[in-house]
Amino acid sequence: MGIKQRSNAGARPVPGASPAGAATMRAAVQHRYGPPSVLESSEVGLPLPGRGDVLVQVDAASVHPGDYFVMTGEPYVVRLAFGLRRPRHGIPGRDLAGVVAAVGKDVTALRPGDEVFGWSTAGTLAEYACVPADNLVSVPANLSVVDAAAVPTSAMTALQALRDIANVRPGQTVLVTGASGGVGSFAVQIAKAFGAEVTGVCSTRNVDLVRLLGADHVVDYTRTDFTRTEKRYDVILDNVEAQPLAAVRRALTPTGTLIPNSGRGGRWLGPLGRIVKARVLSGSTRQQLKPFLSVGKRQDLLTLADLLATGQVMPVIDRTYSLDEAADALRYVGAGHARGKVVITV
């Protein structure tokens, strides 16, 4: 697999990219925080893989609400991690699927030509991305690159929430809000794979989709407020947090587990106020209130690859956009009404 050589006349430097005079690539680039219009389609230097890195030729990259928060720099608290005045990495995006173009000296498990999917913290909305080898696994044979790119962050979040935080066991009742969204569409399928009785909460237009994903029961939130029914759940994965914590707790069994999982919130602190409240309350009740931050783990991506290979889990693709339409993709995800995943094909 050859790396495309281009003239880099006019290429603008991006942190971590190769020096002037080297090969270039097309990328969605932002030089400041702001709305999707801050994204430009630019020629930038090709990233240089370190000893343990892989240079991936990106075929597809998915975007999720976290990418929107990092692009806008809001809530402002994200700037502590991603750059105070401007984004430290000029290229947005985290999830990707593609083909190995080159490997660093220490990488033995992957070779040029391998089809891989995974995640990178150095930007994926580009023709190439530099990825630590440990963040990549092989694409299952039954999966397209678009499907594979849709998986990493959203599916790992769903897996970690249900398996590690809630410890879901067969026969338990699990309610998932935002069941038609990126995290929720994976969560419904993973909870079913764990043997739970699953209820998905979504709007009327998504009822059929959530049923197709395997939900035993579907609550249409435009007609029914799940916090006001008699039904109690062992586990609630609340991806939306449209109702106050106290109301959601009423729908939980006395020793049930609630994972408040929405990243949305105020301009400064985002969901942090709600997270602190849940943690404080957790000390005074037998119910478990457990907000968490998902972490990229290769082993979890391998677990998901198995679930995908056996057809127990399949990504739902809402829309695909071209790299030049990256701003539209992020605008759409930011609006909060995606049905499954939004993928950019490169």
Ligand X SMILES: NC(=O)c1ccc[n+]([C@@H]2O[C@H](COP(=O)([O-])OP(=O)(O)OC[C@H]3O[C@@H](n4cnc5c(N)ncnc54)[C@H](OP(=O)(O)O)[C@@H]3O)[C@@H](O)[C@H]2O)c1
Interface ranges with ligand X (CB under 6 A): 64-66, 153-154, 157, 177-178, 180-184, 201-203, 205-206, 221, 239-240, 242, 261-264, 292-294, 336-339
Q: Are strands 317-322 and 40-45 parallel, antiparallel or unpaired?
A: unpaired
| Residue 301 · residue 158 · CB < 8 Å | no
Q: Which is nearer to ligand X, 189 or 294 (CB)?
A: 294
Cβ at position 187, least distance to ligand X in Å: 9
CB of 237 to ligand X, least distance (A): 9
- Taking the CA atoms of residue 269, residue 272, residue 277 and residue 279 in that order, the dihedral angle to the nearest 10 degrees is -160
DSSP β-ladder status, 136-138 and 115-119: antiparallel
Which phi and psi (to 5°) does residue 261 adopt? -125, 10
Q: Which is nearer to ligand X, 204 or 322 (CB)?
A: 204
Amino acid sitting at position 10: G
CB 178 to ligand X: min, Å: 4
Query: Of 24 and 206, which has the nearer Cβ to ligand X?
Result: 206
CA atoms of 340 and 35, how far apart (whole Å): 22
* Cβ neighbours of residue 203 closer than 8 Å, sequence gap 6 or more: 180, 220, 221, 222
CB of 213 to ligand X, least distance (A): 12
Q: How far is the CB of 161 from ligand X (least distance, A)?
A: 7
Nearer to ligand X, 132 or 334 (CB): 334
| Backbone phi and psi for residue 160, each to the nearest 5 degrees, phi listed first | -65, -40
**Which C-beta is closer to ligand X: that of 18 or that of 239?**
239
Minimum distance of ligand X from residue 179's CB (angstroms): 7
DSSP string, 298-313: HHHHHHHHHHHHTTS-
Q: Residue of minimal CB distance from ligand X? A: 263
* Minimal distance, residue 4 CB to ligand X, in Å: 32
Q: What's the closest the beta carbon of residue 162 comes to ligand X, in angstroms?
A: 12
Residue 258 CA to residue 240 CA, distance in Å, equals 12
Q: In this structure, which amino acid lies at residue 94? A: R
Comparing CB distances to ligand X, the nearer of 42 and 177 is 177
Of 8 and 239, which has the nearer Cβ to ligand X?
Answer: 239
Residue-level length of the chain = 346
Q: Is 311 exposed, middle or buried (0-12, 13-18, 19+ CB in 10 A)?
A: exposed
Spatial CB neighbours of 15, under 8 Å, sequence gap ≥ 6: 88, 89, 90
